[in-house]
């Protein structure tokens, strides 16, 4: 199957490129008969044979690709001339065909009808920091489209946010500034010429503005402010419960003990939810089982403390039966057995 060029426009420059691919594909082939040595001796070498050229041309394009086939047909005579007459003298097919014969291409680094050098010179167009308009073609104006780090007619200047870590008359290397710098002369925050938004100059350096340190928080009342380098974010203070497929999933930016907060952790709570109390500036669990007022009032029942709450459970050896803690079966048997033993102190 031939090589598909898709919906590419017709470009004569593709003909030699496709032929070069064909030369590579057939470089190790031969006539394909049973006696290759005899064939090459009597029918000339396969590498320069008409058979090889026909094979290459026939496989240059897909049969359905009109543009490609039309291009090859249009320039088939030139290809055959080079193959049989000029291949040894001009081994560079692209140069002979595209640049010198049909004159639709230019050497790399040049452009326009007369193949003049791109801005920055033909050896390193745009000084290696951009793309030359029309590079290698008979069109374009040779101007530079610089990479993001560079700017200027010749792509030697640095864009905002970059500085020259190396520079001479022909070479320029632009390196990213510190995150705090809009423009700079070096790599650190002390080398900033101007600070980015979210940063402020403090003596000799650009430092982060703490947007969360102001009296009026930039966040809503149900959020707390979290400072970040050059910015801030607002985090939800609500301890939320999401019910999904009968399972509970908990998510919160605040500590679960908080009722409103100014940051993460129990020390950042504005106040505490029920079951917690503020101690030493932290929301701490209340141990309801140690309070003077008894929480579990049934007979044979124990109080068990849990985070933010408590639960009542029957004591060891007892089980709940219709809201009453009754002895377990094993405990009843042991009590009965003990009751039936003779009194060791009974008078004889």
What are the tens digits of pLDDT across the range 45-87? Answer: 766 677 777 777 776 667 777 766 777 777 778 878 887 888 8
In the chain the domains, ranked by start, together with CATH numbers, are 14-101 (no CATH), 110-176 (no CATH), 240-285 (no CATH), 290-338 (2.10.25)
pLDDT in tens, 173-182: 999 999 999 9
DSSP string, 16-50: HHHHHHHHHHTTT----SS-HHHHHHHS--GGGSH
pLDDT higher at 269 or 19: 269
Q: Which two tokens stand for residue 165?
A: 């870590």
Evaluated on CA atoms 243, 248, 254, 257, the torsion sign reads: positive
Q: What is the mean pLDDT of residues 90-109?
A: 83
* C-alpha closest to that of 228 among 241, 212, 242, 247: 212
Taking the C-alpha atoms of residue 348 and residue 334, their distance in angstroms, rounded to an integer, is 26
Q: What is the mean pLDDT of residues 104-119?
A: 92
pLDDT in tens, 221-273: 778 888 999 999 988 765 444 434 444 444 445 678 887 777 777 888 888 88
Phi, psi for 158 (deg, rounded to 5): -95, 140
Residue 191 and residue 184 in contact, taking contact as beta carbons nearer than 8 Å: yes
Would you say residue 163 has pLDDT above 90? yes
| The pairing of beta strand 150-151 with beta strand 309-314 | unpaired
Residue 160 and residue 174 in contact, taking contact as beta carbons nearer than 8 Å: no
Running DSSP on this structure, what letter comes out for residue 101? I
The label of the residue with tokens 């426009």 reads 9
Q: Which two tokens stand for residue 174?
A: 């632009």
pLDDT at 301: 93
Of 32-46, 134-148, 154-168, 195-209, which range is least confident?
32-46
Taking the C-alpha atoms of residue 185 and residue 197, their distance in angstroms, rounded to an integer, is 18
């Amino acid at each position: 199957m031939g090589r598909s060029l898709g919906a590419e426009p017709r470009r004569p420059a593709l003909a030699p490129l496709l032929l070069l691919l064909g030369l590579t594909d057939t470089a190790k082939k031969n006539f394909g008969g049973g006696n290759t040595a005899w064939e090459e001796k009597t029918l000339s070498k396969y590498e320069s044979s008409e058979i090889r050229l026909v094979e290459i041309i026939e496989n240059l394009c897909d049969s359905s690709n009109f543009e490609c086939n039309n291009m090859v047909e249009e320039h088939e005579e030139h290809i055959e001339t080079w193959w049989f007459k000029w291949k040894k003298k001009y081994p560079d097919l692209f140069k002979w065909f595209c640049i010198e014969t049909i004159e639709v291409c230019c050497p790399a680094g040049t452009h326009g009808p007369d193949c003049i050098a791109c801005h920055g010179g033909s050896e390193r167009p745009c000084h290696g920091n951009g793309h030359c308009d029309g590079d290698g073609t008979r069109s374009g104006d040779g101007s530079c489209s610089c990479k993001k780090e560079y700017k200027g007619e010749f792509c030697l200047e640095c864009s905002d946010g970059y500085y020259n870590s190396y520079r001479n008359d022909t070479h320029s290397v632009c390196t990213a500034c510190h995150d705090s710098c809009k423009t700079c002369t070096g790599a650190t925050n002390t080398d900033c010429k101007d600070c980015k938004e979210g940063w402020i100059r403090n003596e000799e350096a650009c430092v982060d503005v703490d947007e969360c340190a102001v009296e009026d928080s930039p966040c809503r009342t149900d959020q707390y402010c979290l400072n970040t380098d050059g910015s801030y974010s607002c985090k939800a203070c609500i301890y939320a419960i999401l019910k999904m497929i009968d399972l509970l999933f908990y998510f919160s930016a605040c500590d679960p003990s908080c009722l409103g907060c100014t940051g993460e952790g129990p020390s950042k709570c504005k106040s505490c939810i029920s079951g917690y109390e503020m101690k030493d500036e932290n929301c701490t669990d209340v141990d309801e089982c140690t309070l003077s007022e008894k929480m579990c009032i049934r007979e044979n029942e124990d109080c068990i403390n849990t985070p933010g709450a408590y639960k009542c459970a029957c004591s060891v050896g007892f089980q709940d039966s219709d809201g009453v803690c009754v002895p377990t079966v094993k405990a009843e048997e042991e009590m009965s057995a003990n009751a039936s033993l003779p009194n060791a102190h009974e008078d004889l």
